[in-house]
Amino acid sequence: MKKLINSTDTILEESLDGLAAAHADLLQLGPERKFVRRRELKPGKVALISGGGSGHEPLHAGFVGLGMLDAACPGQVFTSPTPDQMIEAAEAVDTGAGVLFIVKNYEGDVMNFTMAAEMAGREVASVVTNDDVAVEKSTYTTGRRGVAGTLIVEKMVGAAAETGMSLAALKALGDEVNRRTRSMGVALLPCTVPAAGRPNFTLPDNEMEMGVGIHGEPGRRRVPLASADAIAAELVEAILKDLEPSKGSEVVLLVNGFGATPLIELYLMVNAAKRILDRAGITATRFLTGSYVTSLDMAGVSITVSVLDSNATRLWDAPVQTAALRWGI
């Protein structure tokens, strides 16, 4: 295993210290590094909190700031944060309008965020994302996994929260954005969890895992390596079959790398996915390309499609200033 680490026991703490130092204008660490919080809070605004296992950076801490999250709770690598982290984060960033948890549908995350909501002693609502069309049930979940579509929910709900929208309205919006969003991914190479020191699954050079999860969970099937066009076709067609957007729909197209996929390949996949959408009568009017919801050093890609209307487009275009996303400022 070759990684830029000092110790597998301190990798998360040292990384969080670096994040806080590099983006001190936007965020700060909570006590004992239990959460990352927005440095400047907006009084009277609903506080948005998310989190999950580390190893998916920049999700979630990289999306703390203006127009997105007020706090993020990082667990150890591929391990859910604990309820006390969410409770302390809520206490730190709730300015009186309540708290909205945005939770990926993994059993540990859902259980711990639910416990935190019950114990927080304040008004809390939750949105659970489940955008992955690959499988209905996996190693970590009951029901569909929450993957890169979580970013789209955080962006749109975050923009709405900045306008002063109520907690109930934000939950309804988050649920609606989640319903309009679908994702699917493919792995070319596995990832290596530092504490394990070896790849978390095996994948021969001539095969790929179609529908892989962001922790390396099995997908739909293992198949021979195919061309980029063929991979894009399977991913996008599965998304469109499930999402069923009407012809003429406008969408956000998110092409997301898993951590070891170069941009030259990701933009090639943008081109391939866009051509498939065009043939289906679907127009991608907004794009986001890069490694935003990663799986440590996994090689592969996920594609996310989210249907837009005028309100969703306005929310997507709204200003955002975080460590990982910045526009309109």
| Residues assigned a catalytic role | 56, 215
**Cα distance between residue 129 and residue 174, in whole Å:** 9
Closest among 46, 301, 27, 312 to 156, alpha carbons compared:
312
Q: What's the N-to-C CA distance of the chain in angstroms?
A: 41
Residue with tokens 């409770």: 87
CA angle centred on 253, ends 290 and 235, rounded to 5°: 90
| Helical pair 263-279 and 228-243, crossing angle rounded to 10 deg | 50
3-state secondary structure of 160: helix
> What is the three-class DSSP state of 181?
strand
Q: Answer positive or negative: Cα dihedral of 262, 265, 266, 267.
A: positive
Q: Give 185's DSSP letter.
A: E
Tokens of 259: 């951590």
Q: Before 199, cis peptide (omega within 30)?
A: no
Q: How far is CA 261 from CA 95, 139, 163, 267, in A?
A: 40, 24, 36, 11
The greatest distance separating any two alpha carbons of the chain, rounded to the nearest whole angstrom, comes to 55
